[in-house]
Homo-oligomer: A and B are copies of this chain.
């Protein structure tokens, strides 16, 4: 299967490297940024281009690892080059597969459920690949490819993927923001954030032993009003964080009463 990789950002970079490591043939890399295209092309021994017009028509699979709002535009461009009968997928958690519906015939999704950053090497073998395709044969082909790069392969509908994406925002983006609040509060008192790292690691480690609801601890679930009041009083200097504290404490309390 000759793969054309469109996009050389964090997802494109790590997916390209993983495909190469697993013996798959990425024949060409596209990025609007010429340097990025060349860099990834060199890394995975693929041709590179920064012009959509120069994208090869000889691919079997086109993977669009581009920003959500560029998916439609790239698909239209590929269609206008007569590639509308090729299998074209995007890698987005947030965009329905139907973004391709009226311009392509064979299309799908190949969504690795992970947060990627350039500097960090992900352990791809455990990353869930959530895939889908309009045609059954394409779904099967994508599953074969996905199983080469990961142990965790799921067929996931647009509706399910949308839910996964909302949940991912809670457990990743919002969790990171809570870490940021902890960081900011400690920094102001001259305390190192590292003090919290063992606690943070254990918060995640405990998920091995039960559901998050079973693992809930702290003043909110104990209905420890005097501690909550003391915390709210301290947070008066951070009105945004006070509001977040209040709302999350209430929400945990509602779980308690269920």
* Dominant SS among interface residues on chain A: helix
Cβ A191 vs Cβ B160 within 8 A? yes
Please tell me if A205 contacts chain B, counting CB pairs below 8 Å.
yes
**Nearest chain B CB to A87's CB is how many angstroms away?**
24
Cβ B186 vs Cβ A163 within 8 A? yes
Cβ A191 vs Cβ B164 within 8 A? yes
- CB contacts (< 8 Å) of A171 on chain B: these are 178-179, 182, 196, 199-200, 203
Please tell me if A145 contacts chain B, counting CB pairs below 8 Å.
no
| Contact residue among B177, B234, B240 (Cβ-Cβ distance under 8 Å from A163) | B234
Cβ A235 vs Cβ B166 within 8 A? yes
Cβ A212 vs Cβ B180 within 8 A? yes
Near B by CB (< 8 A), chain A positions 142-189 give 152, 154, 156, 159-160, 162-183, 185-186, 189
**Nearest chain B CB to A161's CB is how many angstroms away?**
10
Give 24 CB contacts A-B under 8 Å: A94-B219, A113-B196, A117-B215, A128-B198, A130-B195, A152-B195, A164-B191, A165-B231, A169-B220, A170-B179, A170-B181, A173-B216, A173-B219, A174-B245, A176-B212, A177-B212, A177-B251, A180-B211, A182-B212, A183-B213, A193-B211, A200-B207, A240-B251, A241-B251
